[in-house]
Structure 1
Amino acid sequence: MKTVLFDAIKEVIIISDKEVEVLTSAFKIITKKKNEYLVEEGALSPNLYFIINGYVRCFYLDNGNEITTQILSTKDFVTSFESFLNNDFSKESIQCISDCTLLCISKTDYENLYKEVSNWSFFCKSVYEKYITKISDRANSLQNLSASDRYLRLLNTQPNIALNTAVKHLASYLGIKPQSLSRIRKEVIK
């Protein structure tokens, strides 16, 4: 299972056999059931997760309504980055929306990798850039695309998320009402 992580890392940096051993000991395999939380709003996020399989969503509460900000799946890293990096309380919750297998690394082990894996900082930079780009793309999408176009874009770029996420979570992520998403899906099928 860790080979998925190593393959993702090797897409960005070269790692030696010794560095693979270091990474193997730093990341632990965990499983979570559907609806279990990785992080709850207001708590610390002491771990970084790499999704082997399954789906995870990030959300916050706004006047009792859950606002989904991200839906992530295989080969994605997930944590409350602000909390993880700054040791601050999370402003969002992170919940498994399916049964998940993940790799988990603690903040301490993560920081040790900077000393033990030669290009770890370069790899982390690429992860953060991908995270920032995803958030920026979503914000631009919400501002500039119609609800139908947002759904079609997601369907074209991440069909696994579009087809395997509950309507209420997907609708929130797309910034529309569940009824509107159901109507859009029917129109797309025609």
Structure 2
Amino acid sequence: MGHIRVYYERVADLSQSDWQYIAALFECVRFSKGETVTEQGDVEQFLYFIESGIIRYYVCDDTTETTFDFCFEKAFASAYDSLVNQTPSSYRLSTLSDTIAWRISYDNLQKMYQKTQVGNVVGRVLAEKLYSAKNQRELALLRLTAKERYLSLFSERPEIIRQIPLKHIASYIGITPQALSRIRREIC
């Protein structure tokens, strides 16, 4: 849980008593590679902090899966809109590798917000980061070509290039695997 504490301490002052209270609200969970963390259509009940591993966010329909994000270690992951609104998730979260995470339930998250100031500050900062990342992603999809989106991953999210299978990268930037192969040939 040390990584969670470091995350909190980067955002706000954290007293020992607040940390003890917050730490007691989290539990450790392990997922195997390919395991579903949150099913599309289910109401998200947890906020996860990834200790190790990778989680993929994607939408499923009858014939395709469309990836729209990835979450790596030392970051929070969740079907956040479903968690906050307690409504069915419109997407799925699953692991791309064996994953160890610490999770806090929706009810315990609400208790943390009520009991600790640091919980409120971290919650606000997390929501702001998610909102900003969502806006940047939407603008990239609207303004950049597929090639530009792929090339931007090298500087903005190199962990995706290093750790994610090409079929998921293609889906993430909004193209087919074949189109990604053409782009990769052009730039090599």
Give the TM-score range, shorter chain.
over 0.9
Aligned residue type for 1:176: I
2:97 alignment counterpart:
98
Q: CA RMSD in A?
A: 1.3
Shift of 1:63: 4.8
* Percent identity of paired positions between Structure 1 and Structure 2: 28
Structure 1 residue 187: deviation in Å?
Answer: 3.8
Q: Within 2, Cα distance between the matches of 1:133 and 1:118?
A: 23
- Contact kept, 8 Å, 1:15 with 1:117, in 2: the verdict is no
Query: 1:75 matched to which residue of 2?
Result: 74
Within 1, Cα distance between the matches of 2:61 and 2:142? 19
3-state SS, counterpart of residue 74 of structure 1: coil
Q: How many residues align?
A: 188
Cross-structure match for 1:8: 7
Q: Does the 8 Å contact 1:72/1:161 carry over to 2?
A: no
CA distance in 2, matches of 1:181, 1:98: 23
Deviation at 1:62, TM superposition (A): 4.0
Where structure 2 has 5 or more consecutive residues not aligned to the other structure, the ranges are: none
Structure 1 equivalent of residue 122 of structure 2: 123
Q: Which runs of 5+ in 1 are unaligned?
A: none
The Cα shift of 1:77 comes to: 1.3
The TM-score normalised by the length of structure 2 is 0.94
Whichever residue aligns with residue 156 of structure 2, its letter is T
1:83-130: CA deviation from partner (whole Å, max 9, x where unpaired):
211211111100111111111110111111113322221211110111
Deviation at 1:179, TM superposition (A): 1.5
- Give the distance between the partners of 1:154 and 1:24, measured in 2 at CA: 34
Query: Which runs of at least 4 in structure 1 moved beyond 6 Å after TM superposition?
Result: none
- Work out the CA distance in 1 between the residues paired with 2:19 and 2:162: 34
Give the counterpart letter for 2:25 in structure 1. A
Q: Which residue of 2 aligns with 1:54?
A: 53
Q: TM-score, normalised by structure 1?
A: 0.93
Distance 2:81 2:8 in 1: 22
Q: Letter of the aligned partner of 2:63 in structure 1?
A: G
Paired amino acid for 1:25: A
The answer to whether the 8 A contact 1:73-1:161 is kept is no
Following superposition, the deviation at residue 43 of structure 1 comes to: 1.0
